[in-house]
Chain A
């Protein structure tokens, strides 16, 4: 991951600027919108580009280091490019007991990447995730915002096809 300063100025997209401004209105301190702001920028690019970090900091009145500190703490904020689809596989205990290891192995095999990696065609990134709160329907995984329940290894190929 490159965190080197970049000379390219980053201008927040007008829509994003307004969305962040609205978020700021929800809180007594603009800083509280930092997670929301990172998510708004990430929605546009798929990840949070380096140059967006100081831009968000300027808007919220906090340092770029503070924004980066937040960005690197939370696992749903991506500080490097990810695929068009991010697959998050639950590896917590209930899914472990119902067979996440087989799901994970099948995904690694079909995608040809390990956890934390992106396929060469930029289509999928594979990540582990904490318990998704659907343990009665495990194993569970998410692909972008969609949650899939009761996944079995033979389902994987068909599931991936839904995400071109």
Chain B
């Protein structure tokens, strides 16, 4: 493994992550030095645009564009913030844990470079509370980086000062939504905020704020060192999207796991070559391309490139890029019921369609699963898919919840219909 083919993971060591000296001996903090000595902040942002780096948290928003919306220059607010969204909790996703536990200095370096690009005064790594080991390792990396002058007042003797903190959360899925994350970081209930204003203009404590996912940020130092063209080349022409991607598979496959691969490899390559295919006795029924809030795809979609546009064209979203494989021992109703139980429990309760609609969908799905569904239940579920869809709710939680439900109905309608009890058994009073 080298920096040239697997930049994100070549320095990952889960047992004993590199300390400062070890990390520095493998190009560590070279990007901070280069950025501060050779590049203007806007040039760093320009590099992200040239690289076509897109967000790895699920939405795929161009990172350079996000950063370029932050007010810069002498008139900009004195305090600006960069936040790492390390609240990894999308069911089926297990990539950021590896990056933080296995290469904590890489994320610290990335935060410093991102902070420099938008001239932030402070950074926060918003880490989910359960990631205890990651917290310990990141805190230690921050202490080491501080002692070496990469953090604190006048970073590497420059006029720019930057502080970095780990903020360990206390649970719930909703802080993964960026405006809910900001409320949570401010010490409030994690309700989402209305947009606009976007966080880049008015985010944390009303100041310009950039929120990026762990994996997205970890690409940043490599782009600064090797350039946008190099980064575009990493996907080897497999996709318009550039760089590598952490792809993974969970479910009843032979070798579940996580791999750094060129952006845009096919789902079949990931599933069959890397994960070894299905376990004996299990067949592939359907799969989620990138977390609980993505639409199911079918076995016939396996030859699609795992990139943002291709998976979107097939009617789903690449999301986090980690496949959850559903085997044929499961009824689709049980899987969707499990997914909607999750979304119902994790609804923050702020807006009505989500708070009331999701538990309703769970009740209907549980009834169908028992074979006790009523005529009209399927239509009610379809109606809920519309009422909870994009534009009807405050944030993306409910629309995300709808994705696996609507696609399950699309591909497995017969299973839903089979759950409706025949009316003949009704007793006459």
B129 at the interface (CB under 8 A from A): yes
B292 at the interface (CB under 8 A from A): yes
Contact of B205 among A26, A28, A97 (CB under 8 A): A28
9-residue interface stretch from A4-12, A88-96, A106-114: A88-96
Taking chain A's interface residues, is the majority helix, strand, or loop, or is none over half, making it mixed? mixed
Residue of B whose beta carbon sits closest to that of A25: B165
Complexed CA–CA distance, A158 and B397 (Å): 39
What is the 8 Å Cβ interface bit string for chain B, positions 66-97, against chain A (1 contact, 0 not)? 00000000000001000000001111111011
Q: Is the CB of A129 within 8 A of B342?
A: no
Q: Is the CB of B94 within 8 A of A96?
A: no
A132 at the interface (CB under 8 A from B): yes
Q: Which residues of B contact A27 (CB under 8 A)?
A: 186-187
Complexed CA–CA distance, A58 and B171 (Å): 24
Q: Which of B205, B256, B322, B334: most chain A CB closer than 10 A?
A: B256
Q: Is the CB of A131 within 8 A of B258?
A: no
Q: Which of B118-151 contact A (CB under 8 A)?
A: 128-132
Q: Which residues of A contact B249 (CB under 8 A)?
A: 136
Residue of B whose beta carbon sits closest to that of A93: B91
B269 at the interface (CB under 8 A from A): no
Q: Which residues of B contact A31 (CB under 8 A)?
A: 186-188
Contact of B335 among A26, A32, A70, A93 (CB under 8 A): A93
Interface size on B, residues (CB 8 A): 57
Q: Which residues of A contact B186 (CB under 8 A)?
A: 27, 29, 31-32
Chain A interface residue number, banded: 35 or more
Contact of B96 among A77, A92, A132, A133 (CB under 8 A): A133
Q: Is the CB of B187 within 8 A of A97?
A: no
Q: Is the CB of A133 within 8 A of B89?
A: yes
B6 at the interface (CB under 8 A from A): no
Q: Which residues of A contact B90 (CB under 8 A)?
A: 131
Given contacts A93-B324, A129-B130, contact A136 B169 (CB under 8 A): no
Min CB gap B396→A, angstroms: 17
A64 at the interface (CB under 8 A from B): no
Q: Is the CB of A130 within 8 A of B91?
A: yes
Q: Which residues of B contact A147 (CB under 8 A)?
A: 130, 132
A154 at the interface (CB under 8 A from B): no
Q: Is the CB of A131 within 8 A of B252?
A: no
Given contacts A31-B187, A93-B342, contact A135 B250 (CB under 8 A): yes
Residue of B whose beta carbon sits closest to that of A34: B187
Q: Which of A85-142 contact B (CB under 8 A)?
A: 88, 91-94, 96-98, 128-138, 142
Min CB gap B379→A, angstroms: 25
Q: Which residues of B contact A26 (CB under 8 A)?
A: 165, 167
Contact of A94 among B88, B91, B188, B330 (CB under 8 A): B91
Q: Which of B130, B248, B334: most chain A CB closer than 10 A?
A: B130
Residue of B whose beta carbon sits closest to that of A32: B187
Q: Is the CB of A93 within 8 A of B92?
A: yes
Interface of B with A (CB < 8 Å)?
79, 88-94, 96-97, 128-132, 165, 167-173, 184-190, 204-205, 248-252, 256-258, 288, 292, 322, 324-327, 330, 334-335, 338-339, 341-342, 345-346, 348
